[in-house]
Amino acid sequence: MKKVKTDMIELSKLKFVQNSRLRATADVSDLMEDFKIPGQLQPIGVRCSDNAIIYGNRRVSAARKMEWKEIKADFFDDVDDNELLVMNVVENIKRKNIGSVEIGRMCNLLKKNGLSSKEVAERIGIKPTRVESCLACYRNVSGTDFEELISYGSRGGESFGTIPESAIWNIYHLNRWKKLTNDDWKRILEAVKEGTLPTQKIRAFGRLLSSEKNITIAKALKLMEEATMVYVDFVFDKSRLSEEMRKKKIESPREFVKNLIREKYSDLLF
């Protein structure tokens, strides 16, 4: 693969193949404003052999809406379909405007094209563990009723869906405390969609799972819906705290405080 030239190309001659950003071209009003002043600063990427767009789909969409006839492009030779996907996702990762579900979708396509997770990671420049986590995020929503409800961010004041894409990443990380099944994913996504588990409380939901090892997801969601969460800072004498924790055979300060409350108000804490 090599860059051959930078030149103008007619928009009508461009071919769409794949874009790592989902719904990224729905609203491009921000780019349209940028195109007025100072104009198009970054060329799009185009494959020489068939004029396929490698990256810059939003720029193309903005140019078309502004009724431009042509756009500036960097032309690349010797770009196969896998390399096109890689260049597209790398461009968006570099710009920090792509989420875990979107990365997971592209990783899934690359794996279907014969690459291993390790090869995908090497090609797009991320860790193999991130490839697997992004794949998990994508596969748990792909083909479900929740897929069309995911918001991939706001563009020009427009917001899509009712489940922020960042929430999917936070849900995945609940696995640190409890291995999530497919049914668990469905229950949690449904709670987020219905508003019974606000996205800003997913991390708190994780803390509940970490403190109650044997709790089911269904029970934890019910508790989150019914509970009032209070965050308080306690300042203890370090030596006295250690002494009292040893007496009660409690290992963490957090559990020590919970135990103190349970001793006086046994029915107050879940």
Mean per-residue pLDDT over the chain, rounded: 86
Alpha-carbon distance of 60 to 43, in angstroms, equals: 10
Alpha-carbon distance of 108 to 123, in angstroms, equals: 14
Q: Higher-confidence residue: 26 or 122?
A: 122
Question: DSSP assignment of the chain, as one string?
Answer: -EEEEEEEEEGGG-B----SSSSTTS--HHHHHHHHTT---S-EEEETTT-BEEE-HHHHHHHHHTT-SEEEEEEEES--HHHHHHHHHHHHHHTT---HHHHHHHHHHHHHTT--HHHHHHHHTS-HHHHHHHHHHHHTTTTSTTGGGEE---BTTB---SEEHHHHHHHHGGGGTSPPPHHHHHHHHHHHHHTSS-GGGHHHHHHHHHHSTT--HHHHHHHHHH-----------HHHHHHHHHHTT---HHHHHHHHHHHH-TTT--
pLDDT digits (tens, 9 = 90+) for 210-221: 888 889 999 999
- Copy the structure tokens of residue 140: 């748990």
pLDDT digits (tens, 9 = 90+) for 37-67: 878 888 999 999 999 999 988 899 999 999 9
Residue 159 predicted with pLDDT over 90 = no
Residue 165 predicted with pLDDT over 90 = no
Predicted confidence at residue 269, as pLDDT, reads 58
Alpha-carbon distance of 40 to 61, in angstroms, equals: 13
Q: Identify the band that residue 154 occupies on the pLDDT scale cut at 50, 70 and 90.
A: very low
30-33 own/partner pairs: CB under 8 Å, 24+ apart: 30/155, 30/156, 31/58, 31/59, 31/61, 31/62, 32/62, 32/65, 32/66
Alpha-carbon distance of 137 to 98, in angstroms, equals: 13
Give the mean model confidence (pLDDT) for residues 149-174.
71
Assess contact for 97 and 21: CB atoms under 8 A.
yes
Residue 156 predicted with pLDDT over 70 = no
Predicted confidence at residue 270, as pLDDT, reads 53
| Domain 2-139 indexed as CATH 3.40.190.80 | no
Assess contact for 31 and 160: CB atoms under 8 A.
no
Q: Higher-confidence residue: 37 or 155?
A: 37
Give the mean model confidence (pLDDT) for residues 233-257.
89
